[in-house]
Amino acid sequence: IDKGALKPSTADFEGAVPESCGDGPPPPKKDAALEQAKKAFAATYGDQCDKELPGGEPLAEPDAYSLRYKDAGAEADEPERETRLFRFFCSMAAYNESAVYYV
């Protein structure tokens, strides 16, 4: 560090830190769709679903799948559209497992 000073900030984290450090590479971009799905899952099912996997392992990131499609009225030369499907583990007991999906 050549020079600098630490000062309190009233900005949120993203606005308070620089985009990169000197000549280093920029940090990876956030996955906005994943973050939105995580927030929706936590708000809607956070209290209902298990906090860990059977066996006591912590929950991992949700499974994510890319879905490519064309709209029903799309012309043959129009490009495919893409959306993502997120699968969140919810609970497991005996021979049943439940999951929550977000598109």
Domain spans of the chain, in order of start: 30-102
Joined together, the tokens standing for residue 35 give 């973050």
The candidate with the shortest Cα–Cα distance to 103, out of 90, 89, 88, 85, is 85
For 24-64, write each residue's pLDDT tens digit: 777 778 899 999 999 999 999 999 999 998 888 898 899 99
pTM of the model: 0.69
Bridge partner list, 26: none
Which residue matches tokens 């994943």?
34
Joined together, the tokens standing for residue 41 give 């899952």
Mean pLDDT of the chain: 89
> For residues 83 and 70, is the Cβ–Cβ distance under 8 A?
no
Antiparallel, parallel or unpaired: β 96-102 and 63-69: unpaired
